[in-house]
Structure 1
Amino acid sequence: MIQITINSKQINLQDDISISKYLQLQGYNTDKIAIEADGEILPRLKWNETKISEFNKYEIVEFVGGG
């Protein structure tokens, strides 16, 4: 089992999946988010190749338009 923190919540995952696969499974619109992994911005180009277990703490930030 893989234990990580996402947006200050402890998450347990059975499988080590890519960041992009996790986002897809959770229903995120990946066009409008940024990922911070252990305090560093994770480039979008690395989401497919980066396994969720490579970092311990994630922040997922969604961009919202408004006026």
Structure 2
Amino acid sequence: MTLIWTITIGLVLYGMHLQQQLTEWPQTCFNHFPLQDYLALFPVVIGLLLRTLENPMGNVELLR
């Protein structure tokens, strides 16, 4: 389970780095399409990832 959260946090940090790169790049070449694609897709990908991590064991009741 720890490995899954480590990968998730790594993806979020990489996404934040990618967002910064994509906001700086259009300022030099005036191409805003990659930034628009990122802003549309990254929250969806993170939402789907968190939704699948919500209960990784399916309907199995976790021990308390």
Does TM-score exceed 0.5, indicating one fold? no
TM-score (norm: length of structure 2)? 0.22
Structure whose CA Rg is larger: 2
TM-score (norm 1): 0.22
Which of 1 and 2 has higher RCO (CA within 8 Å, sep 6+)? Answer: 1
User: Which structure shows the bigger proportion of residues in strand conformation?
Assistant: 1
